[in-house]
Structure 1
Amino acid sequence: MSLRNRAVIVGVGESDIGKLPHMSGLGLNAQAARRAIADAGIKHTEIDGLLTAYSFTEPYFMLGSVLAEYLGLTPRFGGSMVVGGASPAVMLHHAAMAVETGQADVVLVCAGENRASGISRDAAVSALAAVGHPYFEAPYGIGIPSLYALVAQAYMHKYGTKREEMAAVAVNTRNHALKHPNAHMKKPITIDDVLESKPISDPLNMLDCCLISDAGGAFVVTTPERAADMSGKPVYLAGIGELHTHEHLTSAPSLTDYGAEHTARIAYDMAGLGPQDMDLAMLYDCFSIVPIIELEELGLAPRGEGGAFFAEGHAAVGGKLPVNTHGGMLSHAHAGAVGGLMDIVEAVRQLRGEAGERQVAGAEAAVVHNEGGILSSHCTMVFTSEAR
């Protein structure tokens, strides 16, 4: 089923971001949701669908139902999605199908948690260890940074990606975060800062790794027809595609080729657009190697040239194709599934012309990619400012 122009995002919101010990994970979701609902120009009673992700800091099994209860909603379509970092994009896919088929009229999508202040470092490491295979990975003490470090080593070997090019990804996102009023990180960094930061897992250093934030994000999905009655400016979902290739890295079909190329093809074909038509890209950036891989798999740079694209400044606002204009998970915010959700929020703001100092001039089309696990689950979205 083609969803081209059959669903729009009509409201976006993000919570306060940083280390916020006075706020719970549910509170962060509620703050973001309230802002998204206000941005859409509707009452919360108009929402009849609710999707959320998962939380390491909230002790709830039925998180979607708990959040509905917390927000005072009684949705006829709802649940929680657990596809790692790809959850926000997959939730959008489900929300779009729901409004297109009449399962719901207005769907609120939320994610976020108080991961910086609501859980200890040891508890976080223990929770994240669940990503490793219980028999073939976890017993050897491998963690998520080490798994992505294996990916980085393999990619550098095959395609010649340089360590300095990965550092340029972190610098690019930090420069953009400096222009975002709500970004977690506000201190400028250089290539040398990244290369000289604390080693985590070779070749990744501290500044190659995503943040740990308290943060929540939300967006409102409906049909173009329903959006006509709302004050929020709609942004159109032109294309979307998802693919789930594996869960554990030991079962990945490749250490250098992943599912983004496939999901991008689905999304581009549905939208009737190609990579050459994109004005900006929001790429999942849990570690500095990941946007380089995604840039290439999404057809935005030739294989082996994604790193140079960042190093040469083409991903900056004002460059050939601005990437992660809000600062991404490396500098804007990361709290579980909220990292990828913020990519969607930023794309909407850019296509509405609401990004202020970081605005991409004339932005009309954006590609957004979320990935979950260790490059396991993929979902690519194409958004446009008008129906095409």
Structure 2
Amino acid sequence: MSDATEKAAIVGVYEHPSRRAPQKHPFALQMECVTAALDDAGLALSDVDGLCVASSDWAEGGGVTSVTEFAEYAGITPTYFNSTDVGGCSYIVHAGQAAAAIAAGLAEVVVISYASAPRWWPLTTPSFDPFVLPAGPGQFELPYGPTIIATYGLFAQRHMHVYGTTPEQLAQVAVTFRAHAANNPDARFRDPISVDDVLASPMIASPLHKLDCCVVTDGGGAIVMTSRERARDCRKRPVHITGFGSAIARTGVSQIPKDLTTPAKISGAKAFADAGIAHDSIDVAEIYDAFTITPMLALEDLGFCGKGESGAFVEAGHLGIGGRLPTNTDGGGLSSNHPGKRGIFAMIEGVRQLRGEGPGVQVEDARTALVHGLGGTFCAAATAILAV
């Protein structure tokens, strides 16, 4: 365990229950989450001296200086702040870096918060895909229409071609996470689905069907971190970040490795080395699932199965309760919520599982959780190992 992870703890979390919040500014959603997470920790806004926010994307309400905008909105003056934005895993990155800041004495109470309202926000239609700019390297890919969903479709198609993965195996991911969402009162979709239902849903970007794709919701969440010493006086049992790793790789679709290796291979190895534990010590996992192919690639690069073996791993039922690696216990982005950068919700659910507060399904006596997220089209990755 590194000095940073040894000295920091998560003491408060909150996920907004709304999946549709018409006419509510994202900062208002975010403020509700911050207040509730601080209450969960038994702390006040006046205790906060660190703030991590990355709300400059569409539907998130902020601009390029979103961390200062939200600090003003919240009425706080943090002396430690972080607005690193690498897409969906940004808030896992924030948690790892906040642990280092707390260990270094740069802050004592850090709030990590996020909210977005893509279901109604009036500024949600960019003239081009934000990941492929019409200048610089992006200009060479833009004519081929590499939207987010099309790019993930390419990943899935390649995985099927190289490793023999089947549409049924992809569909099993969605079926499993929907089963976990069934008991989550806040999940966007709770009705059970079958593999046949997934395959019968409309094709969006071959081979990905509608039910292979994440839901689109409004929502938000917040995490409160502090020192181990102060955590002893907080309201809830602290959850410790015992391992952390992050990495960035390529951006362009044309630069994707032929074997589909993602930066999770680096971030996961660093997190496990930092925590000093083996894969079979993980009781529960929360893995980013923007599409069904997303967690499958993560399972391989994180080392839970060999390259190209995630289809068989999923098909064997290992992601469900009772499996080797119960995953996305709240329903994940495929069934519960996905306002945009879903990494913060993976962190929140990891904490809830270790507290015994899982709103969907609860893994009994869970003591160690792996949280993993990606950014963009597997351009960045962050992995955290949590423990009580």
Q: Is the structural similarity TM-score above 0.5?
A: yes
Q: Which stretches in structure 2 are left out of the alignment for 5+ residues?
A: none
Report % sequence identity.
37
CA contact (8 A) 1:151 1:255 kept: no
Residue type matched to 2:161 in 1? H
Measured on the aligned residues, the alpha-carbon RMSD in Å equals: 1.8
Deviations 1:191-242 (A, max 9, x none): 1111111111110111111111101011011111121121122101000011
- The alignment covers a number of residue pairs equal to 383
Alignment of 1:335-374 (within 5 A): 335-337=339-341, 339-355=342-358, 358-374=361-377
Equivalent in the alignment of 1:73? 76
Give the direction of change, closer, same or farther, for the CA distance of 1:155–1:213 in structure 2 (3 Å limit).
same
Residues 1:139 and 2:162 aligned together: no
Inter-partner Cα distance in structure 2 for 1:28 and 1:125? 26
Q: Distance in 2 between matches of 1:251 and 1:120?
A: 30
In structure 2, the CA distance between the partners of 1:254 and 1:107, relative to structure 1 (3 Å rule), is: farther
AA at the equivalent of 1:66: E
CA deviations 1:61-90 (Å, max 9, x no partner) are 311111111112111111322101110111
Match of 2:233 in 1: 229
Residue 187 and residue 343 in structure 1: after superposition, are their counterparts in 2 closer, same or farther (change >3 A)?
A: same
1:383 to 361, 375, 386: 386
Q: Give TM-score, length-normalised by structure 1.
A: 0.94
Distance 1:343 1:326 in 2: 9
For each residue in 1:9-56, what CA deviation from the matched residue of structure 2 results, as whole angstroms up to 9, or x when unmatched?
110001133221032111111111111111111111001000011231
How big is each residue's C-alpha offset from its partner over 1:347-372, in whole Å with a ceiling of 9 and x where there is no partner? 00101111256110111111111110
Q: Which amino acid aligns with 2:214?
A: C
Say if 2:244 and 2:383, in contact at 8 Å, map to a contact too.
Answer: yes
Q: 2:290 aligns with which of 267, 286, 292?
A: 286
Question: Conserved in 2, the CA contact under 8 Å of 1:197 and 1:206?
Answer: yes
Please say if residues 17 and 184 of structure 1, whose CA atoms lie closer than 8 Å, have aligned partners that are also in contact: no
Q: CA deviation at 1:127?
A: 5.0
- The CA deviation string for residues 96-147 of structure 1, in whole angstroms up to 9 with x for no partner, is 11111111101000112101121477x1674545478531222222211111
SS at 2:138's partner residue?
coil
1:265 to partner: Cα distance? 1.0
TM-score under structure 2 length normalisation: 0.94
1:6/1:237 contact within 8 Å kept: no
Corresponding position of 1:38: 39
Structure 2 CA distance for aligned equivalents of residues 111 and 288 of structure 1: 24
Aligned counterparts of 2:260 and 2:222: Cα–Cα separation in 1: 32
Q: CA deviation at 1:275?
A: 0.9
The letter for the 1-side match of 2:167 is R
Structure 2 residue identity aligned to 1:220: V
Q: 1:99 to 1:5 in 2, by over 3 A?
A: same
**TM-superposed deviation, 1:286:** 0.7
> How many angstroms apart in 1 are the aligned matches of 2:130 and 2:194?
29
- The residue type paired with residue 261 of structure 2 is D
Amino acid corresponding to residue 21 of structure 2 in structure 1: L
Task: State the one-letter code of the partner of 2:58.
Answer: F
Residues 301-327 of structure 1, C-alpha deviation per residue, up to 9 Å, x if partnerless?
233322222223221123221010011
Name 2:265's counterpart in structure 1. 261
Kindly report which structure 2 residues correspond to 1:318-329, keeping only aligned pairs within 5 A, or say none. Answer: 318-329=322-333
Change in Cα spacing, 1:173 to 1:371, as seen in structure 2 (3 Å) is same
Q: How does 1:202-221 map to 2 (within 5 A)?
A: 202-221=206-225
Q: Secondary structure at the match of 1:358?
A: coil
* Partner SS, residue 238 of structure 1: strand
Residues in 2 aligned to 1:357 and 1:210: alpha-carbon distance in whole angstroms: 17
Q: Which residue in the other structure is 1:11 paired with? A: 12
Query: Would the aligned equivalents of 2:330 and 2:359 in 1 still touch at CA under 8 Å?
Result: no
Check the 8 A contact 1:129/1:138 in 2, yes or no.
no
1:133-212 to structure 2, matched below 5 A, reads: 134-212=138-216
SS of residue in 2 equivalent to 1:182: coil
d(CA) in 2 for partners of 1:187, 1:105: 43
- Candidates 296, 300, 303, aligned match of 1:296: 300
